[in-house]
Structure 1
Amino acid sequence: MVSIDGLADLWNRLLSAQPDPPALLVLLTGLAALAVVSTRLPWQIARNVVTIAHEGGHALAAVLTGRKLHGIRLHSDTSGLTVSAGRPTGPGMILTLLAGYVAPPLVGLAGAWLLGGNRITLLLWVAVALLLAMLVVIRNVYGVLSLLVTGGVVLAVSWYASPQVQAAFAYAGVWFLLLGGVRPVVELQRLRARGRMPASDADQLAGITPLPAFFWVTVFALVNLASLVFGALLLAGPLLTGAGLTG
């Protein structure tokens, strides 16, 4: 049985602010995330995290707009599918379709805000909680395994790793979500231009609104780029102050 003092210690650990990270750590984790996003094989592996956030965005928007969420499927080719029931048109369906591509960088922006306040442990635990909540609505084996592995890694880092490793992991993850939200939009438009994604989120939005699919791709791009800029500014606090550059 957990004592009151134990719960208090756990709560303090969760909400306490960690020291400012070295500026070099912020810079190197950003460069590492950029390298992953820019290279083929690392991107194909790490993109599963972006897919989890993408489908989670669809699911959350569906629930918040009153649609009935039937489940989420994650696939080994890094694609995914979120199924919900409700009106096929209207604001609820529009927001549900819109939420997918903008979710990863918006999650990254929220993470950058927490890191800006040095709430590294809180960020990691929130990530675990969100992954566990998403696990309830996963409807295929690969999806369950993806969430268990991802959540297990985050939990292990938050519980066993040193503060320095936690900081590096958290900053790398947030940088990756901010940067990794941009590439799928570029890929989406390239595939659309070749006629290979006729049922994309953008095309579905075009089908239920008077606006063309390219308009919605542009909205995705603008939201994601804005999230990247503001998130980068939040993360760059130690860089701007020069903390840790001189030892």
Structure 2
Amino acid sequence: MSLDGVTDIWDKLVGAQPDPPVLLVLLTGLAALAVVLTRLPWRIARNAITIAHEGGHALLALLTGRKLRGIRLHSDTSGLTLSAGRPTGLGMALTLLGGYVAPSLIGLAGAWLLAGNRITLLLWIAILLLLAMLVLIRNAFGILSIVVTTGAVFAVSWFASAQVQAVFAYAGVWFLLLGGVRPVGELQTLRARGQLRDSDADQLAGLTAVPGLVWVGFFGVVNLGALALGGYLLGSAFL
């Protein structure tokens, strides 16, 4: 590839795209909300939230010096991240803390990029993160999920028009922001029924002596805050 070709790709990657129509921002947000609130679409799309959730565990495990054993994604939209290290202490606590807040915080980062009209850059960062996660997957369904998701993002970023890229990026970021909130409510519902005794919140309670309900509340505050700030950033198109 010539130097001019490399330069063109770089300019495409880091350059800002035109402001999206206000209606696009609004309709993608409403579409994402409809997916989050309806049973079957949520059941299908929730896998993206699981990918982000387990990625959050994995990232915090690596950042705190734990040895990452692998990630498993399951067809029921559950997941498992295994790491080795001290079973107690700050590193383990942060690793547990990273899961439920990851989708919303990733969505917030995406909203910040979209506020600067960096749509293509957002899509390529997503591709790189997914490829990094693929190396850590340890089961067939997980590999299939990551490959299909990566392929879809790549196809949109490379072959689709600027308008289609914008729809895809805004819908994805809205979904992460909105979809990050619902699992926290589901978590507390299952805990109240006694059906999830080893949840992240309960494991954190065992490590810190802070009640599990407080940790659930913390997840909720962080995710609702990310939704509010992310929504403001995405809504800057209205200003």
Does TM, normalized by the shorter one, top 0.5? yes
Matched, 1:179 2:178: yes
Gaps of 5+ in 2: none
CA distance in 1 between partners of 2:83 and 2:205 (Å): 19
Would the aligned equivalents of 2:57 and 2:99 in 1 still touch at CA under 8 Å?
A: yes
Instruction: Give runs of aligned pairs for residues 108-187 of structure 1, distance below 5 A.
Output: 108-187=107-186
Q: Which amino acid aligns with 2:83?
A: S
SS at match of 1:236: helix
Matched, 1:103 2:102: yes
Q: Which amino acid aligns with 1:207?
A: G
Instruction: Give runs of aligned pairs for residues 87-102 of structure 1, distance below 5 A.
Output: 87-102=86-101
Q: Which amino acid aligns with 1:68?
A: K
Q: Which amino acid aligns with 2:59?
A: L
SS at match of 1:73: strand
SS at match of 1:151: helix
CA distance in 2 between partners of 1:218 and 1:42 (Å): 26
- Per-residue Cα deviation, 1:176-234 (whole angstroms, up to 9, x for no partner): 00000000000000000000000000000001111010010000000000000000000
CA distance in 1 between partners of 2:145 and 2:76 (Å): 12
Instruction: Give runs of aligned pairs for residues 22-101 of structure 1, distance below 5 A.
Output: 22-101=21-100
Matched, 1:3 2:2: yes
CA distance in 2 between partners of 1:116 and 1:72 (Å): 32
- Per-residue Cα deviation, 1:134-170 (whole angstroms, up to 9, x for no partner): 0000000000000000010000000011100100000
How far residue 5 of structure 1 moved from its aligned partner, in angstroms, is: 1.2
CA distance in 1 between partners of 2:46 and 2:86 (Å): 31
What's the TM-score once normalised by structure 2's chain length?
0.99
Q: Which amino acid aligns with 1:59?
A: A
Following TM superposition, where does structure 1 have runs of at least 4 consecutive aligned residues deviating by more than 6 angstroms?
Answer: none
How far residue 173 of structure 1 moved from its aligned partner, in angstroms, is: 0.1
Q: Which amino acid aligns with 1:140?
A: N
Matched, 1:225 2:218: no
What's the TM-score once normalised by structure 1's chain length?
0.96
Would the aligned equivalents of 2:115 and 2:237 in 1 still touch at CA under 8 Å?
A: no
How far residue 129 of structure 1 moved from its aligned partner, in angstroms, is: 0.5
CA distance in 2 between partners of 1:4 and 1:135 (Å): 30
Would the aligned equivalents of 2:201 and 2:215 in 1 still touch at CA under 8 Å?
A: yes
SS at match of 2:173: helix
How far residue 132 of structure 1 moved from its aligned partner, in angstroms, is: 0.2
- Give the length in aligned residue pairs: 239
CA distance in 1 between partners of 2:41 and 2:97 (Å): 27
How far residue 4 of structure 1 moved from its aligned partner, in angstroms, is: 1.3
Q: Which amino acid aligns with 2:38?
A: T
Gaps of 5+ in 1: 242-247
CA distance in 2 between partners of 1:238 and 1:98 (Å): 32
Q: Which amino acid aligns with 1:228?
A: L
**RMSD after superposition:** 0.4
Counterpart of 1:244 in structure 2 is none
